[in-house]
Amino acid sequence: MNITVYPDQPLFKRSFMIYGHFIEHFHRQIYGGLFDPTNPLSDEDGFRMDILEAMRRIHVPILRWPGGCFVSAYHWKKAVGEKRTPFFDKAWRVEDPATFGTDEYIKLCRKIGAEPYICTNAGTGTAEEMSDWMEYCNLESEGEFAKLRIRNGHEEPYSVRYWSIGNENYGSWEIGAKEADEWSRLVLEAAKMMKHVDPRTELSAAALPDIDWNVKLLGRGRDFLSWISIHKYWNLMAEENDFADYNETMAYTNDLETDIRKVRGLLMAFGLEKKIRIACDEWNLRGWHHPKVLSIQQGITKEEYLYPRDKNDQNEDYTMADAVFTACYLNTLNRNADIVGMACFAPIVNTRGCIFSYDQGIVLRSTYHVFNLYVNYMGDEILSSFESGGESLTVTGKAGDVQTVSAMDVLATRKADGTICIAAVNKDAENVHDLVINAGLKGLLEARVMTVNGSETTSYNDIGHTDVTLTESDWMQGEGTLQLQFMPHSVNVVQIRRCPV
Ligand code: AHR
């Protein structure tokens, strides 16, 4: 494969928020995961310091909370102040102790340097409850809820800039699901009240790549929305914990951009593509496993609907398939960064997350190393490039569908210091693939290659078992084009720069 990069033809800069994350009140993401006050590894506020440090290393730019399906029956007032009211979480059918609420969440975001992004309850909630939440967070001292925040010991407003109205309210599985017309009316009234509280905020609303839903949503919400939120999981496993293997996963890489293109088209049809950006604010190759709870047939015993959630925690399931797919989707987000301004990997800790925690420590799963690679070694300016001579692979998807996919997925970017950074993903399970790079730079150059890989497609990391790592080569010098060979099932970033004189 050949790539010619055109450094004098930058396309656009990507928002750093495309490397965002999501955390939900589900299983061990918060309680017993990130928020674990009795664990000796936790700080004075109850946060696991090893998890915080891992989040800082991948510079989490924005953290969406508290759900997800959880939020559609969540009432934020139960989880602020001295007296917390444990409540039954009707989405996931467990008791929530309410010890992790808005104040703890903001403290978490401050500790890791992430923008808060609050998803509000548009299931059983009201426009008033959503805007009361914004009063609590963003008003100086006016009114009941800002005064409540101050009484709770938080004098300064939290200035939460990003807010989402609702979560998947289009779905029959969601508490408080709504029809398109009903939804657009609620969004309009909620957005109106929220903007009356703090017009500086940027509002999103739950959406999907569906014309009827979005025509009504954009028709009524266009003056108030800055974002439209869509979600995507490819290997759906809510009921059956049935993992797509490596080749089945590669088949999904033909469906990375479909939804983004549809929503882009709808925004353009409305002439809103410069005003409203897309927030892919829940995405992961793997859907979460939680049988008999988001379905009509509810589980009766905890063996049926609760204990199977532990199967999300099996680290051997998160392999180079997850890493290669995640890199291909991050490339897709960068390629569409002119209209995709935010994306949240779902979730960040435990469940299908990139960080797994246990009482004595953490495991950095394969996807964590991909985020580390992209966040710390790719540029924020997307460059024009021309690729040729790429080879393809024939793979069979989970449904037995035979797919032809590209063997390599490449993307050219540039850092502020002028370094050209090229992502080169080799999706081939068995074969190396060459890449001849013309970086469009003259004179003596130097290059280095960072690689995330394991020995097999099934490589994974677990307690006491590390098989997926991020390695960094030395700088190599040369002139003209650079010919490299990439190992099977590997995620690579090539950095090329002029030699310092
Ligand atoms: O499987 C987890 C759920 O996926 C999230 O709570 C929801 O937003 C999405 O449907």
CA distance 306 to 266: 39
**3-state secondary structure (DSSP) of residue 346:** coil
- Report the separation in Å between the CA atom of 289 and the middle of ligand 1, taken as the mean of its atom positions: 10
Residue nearest to atom 5 of ligand 1 (CA): 68
Buried b (16+ CB within 10 A) or exposed e, 155-169: eebbebbbbbbbbbb
Class of domain 2-9+380-498: mainly beta
Q: Does domain 13-377 have CATH number 3.40.640.10?
A: no
- At a CB cut-off of 8 Å and minimum separation 6, what does 272 contact? 218, 222
Residue nearest to atom 9 of ligand 1 (CA): 68
Ligand 1: residue of 167, 175, 208, 345 to mutate (most ligand atoms within 8 A of CB) is: 167
Which helix H or strand E contains 341, and what residues bound it? Answer: strand 340-345
Which helix H or strand E contains 363, and what residues bound it? Answer: strand 361-364
CA distance 423 to 495: 9
Residue nearest to atom 8 of ligand 1 (CA): 68
Ligand 1: residue of 174, 232, 233, 282 to mutate (most ligand atoms within 8 A of CB) is: 282
CA distance 481 to 177: 55
The candidate with the shortest Cα–Cα distance to 165, out of 193, 136, 135, is: 193
**Are 63 and 103 within 8 A, CB to CB?**
no
> Which is the closest atom of ligand 1 to the Cα of 238?
1
Q: For the chain, which residues make up each domain, given as ranges?
A: 2-9+380-498, 13-377
> Which is the closest atom of ligand 1 to the Cα of 173?
10
CA distance 20 to 297: 34
The candidate with the shortest Cα–Cα distance to 491, out of 421, 419, 423, is: 423
Full DSSP string of 82-150 = SS---EEETTTTEEE---S-HHHHHHHHHHHTPEEEEEE--SS--HHHHHHHHHHHH-SS-HHHHHHHH
Largest CA distance in the chain: 71
- Report the separation in Å between the CA atom of 207 and the middle of ligand 1, taken as the mean of its atom positions: 14
| Cα three-residue angle 472-473-477, rounded to 5 degrees | 140
Residue nearest to atom 4 of ligand 1 (CA): 68
Token look-up 């090329």 returns 496
Residue nearest to atom 7 of ligand 1 (CA): 68
- Report the separation in Å between the CA atom of 454 and the middle of ligand 1, taken as the mean of its atom positions: 30
- Alpha-helix residue ranges (DSSP H) falling in 355-501: 366-377
Q: For the chain, what is the radius of gyration of the CA atoms?
A: 23
- Report the separation in Å between the CA atom of 69 and the middle of ligand 1, taken as the mean of its atom positions: 5
Cis peptide before 66 (omega within 30 of 0): yes
- Which residues form the pocket of ligand 1, taking CB atoms under 6 Å from any ligand atom? 24, 67-69, 167-168, 231, 282, 287-288
- pTM, two decimal places: 0.98
Full DSSP string of 55-70 = HHHTT--EEEES-SGG
Strand partners, 282: 231
- Report the separation in Å between the CA atom of 233 and the middle of ligand 1, taken as the mean of its atom positions: 9
Pairing of strands 20-22, 2-13: unpaired
Q: What is the mean pLDDT of each run of 10 residues along the chain (501 residues)?
A: 96 97 98 98 98 98 98 98 95 98 98 98 98 98 98 98 98 97 98 98 96 96 98 98 98 98 96 98 98 95 98 98 98 98 98 98 98 98 97 96 97 97 98 97 96 98 98 95 97 95 73
- Report the separation in Å between the CA atom of 88 and the middle of ligand 1, taken as the mean of its atom positions: 18
Predicted pLDDT of residue 28: 98
Predicted pLDDT of residue 39: 98
**Are 484 and 368 within 8 A, CB to CB?**
no
Q: How many CB atoms sit inside 10 A of residue 18's CB?
A: 23
Predicted pLDDT of residue 501: 73
